[in-house]
Structure 1
Amino acid sequence: MLAVISAAVAPAIALLSFFYLKDKYETEPLSMVVRVYLFGLLLVFPVMVLQYGFEEELHIAGWVKAFFVSGLFEEFLKWFLVFYSAYLHAEFNEPYDGIVYSTALSLGFASLENVFYLSTYGIQEAFWRALLPVSGHALFGVIMGYYLGRAKFSRGKKQRMLLLLSLFLPALLHGVYNYILMTAQEDMFLAIIPFMVFLWWLGLRKVKLANEKRVAYLSRQ
């Protein structure tokens, strides 16, 4: 079991460390990052119960499951927890902080989800789990956090628009990811790898832009 836990959690910790250290100016307190990560771990339990209930009680189409029961539902709960545990906190004091906290929560969720998956299907699945769902959760978190970071230092209509983007853009991307996995079948990897390359390009671009936003924000102070 220890081997399963290590294989399940190690990719998430590596990705979290990567994005945490991408903050070029002022890294966040580790205590806050760990707390948000633990919230992500705990989120797995209500998500599993509620998604199971939806799937058992409702006869839903595959695209509804991909975009709403999984994509929007999961990303909304992540967004809600990041908003109330970090966004409103005094330590959230620069644009890149959104990426740190959203990624921490997403990777907490991915860690425990991965433990359950590898416990069921075997440690031999660890490589593909790290490459696809764990990385996917991290990158959805990056994109969510980028727009939360911008919203924190905006006002009025622009702030509301950025808050909406911080929820609905990662939810949409999560839904597309799920839909590809559900429909590609034998060509799954040929279909999903280009999408993951796009996600990494988009996520790293948001990391760069968030660091640049800090410079612009400070120059206005």
Structure 2
Amino acid sequence: MAETTDKCPHCGADVKPGDAYCECCGKSLAEWAESRGYLDRGPIRLSTVGMIKEGFRSLFDPSPVQVPPNMSVFLNRPLQSLTPYLVGALVLLAVGLLATYGEAWMTYIGFTLAGYAAPLVYLVYMVRSDRYEREPLALVAYCFGWGAFSGIVAGVLNTLITEPFLGVGGAGFIEEPLKIYGVYLIAKSSRVRDEFNDHIDGMVYGAAAGAGFAGLENFWYLYEMIVNLQYPALTAVLVRSTTAFMHLAWSAVAGRSLGLAKAMKGHVELVDLVPGVVVAAVVHMIWNLSDPLIAFAVIFPFMLFSLRQQIKTGLGDEERWGYQCFAPDEDEET
């Protein structure tokens, strides 16, 4: 008896009932197969502990996603203006700077610009790494502004909780959930959640939040280092530029786990923040507690390598899902 075949709903090529992907176009066939009675996968339930293990493992050897993604990764968001998010980004950034430093950030504008220079360079790299579907700059800017705004709350909580009870190693357990919560708001928004598709998107938005936070924090450190003659100006900028990357990396790791949850389930819940935050906070703690030589000579290059491998593996997933041809192609509106 001849084997049963059907047509791919995307390109029309022949596919078999058990195929997870179309061999011609690479598009996932999972939900289409379910609708035809070919596949009874049921809803995917993600274990928080399992996702935490995956997050730590991915720092050393990220693995490709082994199951077809939810079809929501291919959805187009409604084409509407993103101006409110761009305005929100500016407001959040301004409030973060003014509430934390008053007029000092303008008085010492050189420190402000130097503090944000490296985070913005790193962020441009992350945005450009999203090869198949660049995120709207308005949403990236919103997460950047959120990162700066979250610094206000982090400063208060670090004073009330971290310093008296947790010590310097506990700062990440305060800062990482605050930074990534802004990305969660994007992923949950009925207006733009279809723009948050998978783990690559999570890394981009997470890095944006980390960049906003790092720039805000850098102002204080540069002021202390340079004005109090602790370091020469160039040395201070180089030291803080390295630490700024770490803030981006920690938040990108947290965003990656949130994006994986979206790709697998088609939606995110508050509990989906836990795995990425735990991994990011632990790495943050190790950095803070390490001898400076170990931090800069070992942990920094390790995170550079790790982030690059996570990006490479994530892009490989998108290629297998057919993103070259079928990723949402939207006009970027601000």
Report the TM-score, using the length of structure 2 for normalisation: 0.57
Q: Which residue of 2 aligns with 1:54?
A: 161
What is the identity percentage for the equivalent residue pairs of Structure 1 and Structure 2? 25
Q: Which residue of 2 aligns with 1:128?
A: 239
Report deviation, 1:218.
Answer: 4.0
Letter in 2 for 1:179: L
Q: How does 1:37-52 map to 2 (within 5 A)?
A: 37-52=144-159
Q: Number of aligned pairs?
A: 205
Aligned match for 1:65, one of 167, 178, 181: 167
Q: Which residue of 2 aligns with 1:169?
A: 279
Aligned match for 1:23, one of 112, 124, 130: 130
Compared CA separation, residues 160 and 116, structure 1 to 2 (3 A): closer
- The whole-number CA distance in structure 1 between the counterparts of 2:201 and 2:146 is 17
- The whole-number CA distance in structure 1 between the counterparts of 2:302 and 2:155 is 28
Q: Which residue of 2 aligns with 1:208?
A: 312
Q: Is the 8 A contact 2:256 2:276 kept in 1?
A: yes
Compared CA separation, residues 141 and 55, structure 1 to 2 (3 A): closer
- The whole-number CA distance in structure 2 between the counterparts of 1:52 and 1:171 is 18
1:4-31: CA deviations, max 9, x gaps? 1221110011000011001111101111
RMSD: 2.4
Letter in 2 for 1:78: K
Letter in 2 for 1:134: A
- The whole-number CA distance in structure 2 between the counterparts of 1:191 and 1:126 is 17
1:180-216: CA deviations, max 9, x gaps? 1xxx2xxx22454211111111111111112122223
- The whole-number CA distance in structure 2 between the counterparts of 1:206 and 1:19 is 12
Q: Is the 8 A contact 1:144 1:170 kept in 2?
A: yes
1:100-134: CA deviations, max 9, x gaps? 10000011000111012212222441111102x10
Give 1 or 2: higher helix fraction: 1
- The whole-number CA distance in structure 2 between the counterparts of 1:161 and 1:204 is 26
- The whole-number CA distance in structure 2 between the counterparts of 1:38 and 1:80 is 12
* Structure 2: runs of 5 or more not aligned: 1-107, 227-232, 327-334
Aligned match for 1:96, one of 200, 204, 217: 200
Report deviation, 1:73.
Answer: 1.2
1:118 matched to 2:222? The reply is yes
- The whole-number CA distance in structure 2 between the counterparts of 1:53 and 1:94 is 36
Q: Is the 8 A contact 1:142 1:206 kept in 2?
A: no
Q: Which residue of 1 aligns with 2:181?
A: 80
Compared CA separation, residues 112 and 161, structure 1 to 2 (3 A): closer
- The whole-number CA distance in structure 2 between the counterparts of 1:217 and 1:163 is 24
3-state SS of 2:133 partner: coil
- The whole-number CA distance in structure 2 between the counterparts of 1:16 and 1:155 is 27
Compared CA separation, residues 92 and 191, structure 1 to 2 (3 A): closer
Report deviation, 1:166.
Answer: 1.5
Q: Is the 8 A contact 1:150 1:162 kept in 2?
A: no
Larger radius of gyration: 2
Q: Which residue of 1 aligns with 2:252?
A: 142
Q: Is the 8 A contact 1:66 1:178 kept in 2?
A: yes
Report deviation, 1:160.
Answer: 9.3
- The whole-number CA distance in structure 1 between the counterparts of 2:311 and 2:179 is 19
- The whole-number CA distance in structure 2 between the counterparts of 1:154 and 1:21 is 24
Report deviation, 1:87.
Answer: 5.3
Report deviation, 1:54.
Answer: 2.3
Report the TM-score, using the length of structure 1 for normalisation: 0.83
1:108 matched to 2:212? The reply is yes
Report deviation, 1:55.
Answer: 5.0
* Structure 1: runs of 5 or more not aligned: none
- The whole-number CA distance in structure 2 between the counterparts of 1:75 and 1:192 is 20
Compared CA separation, residues 31 and 192, structure 1 to 2 (3 A): same
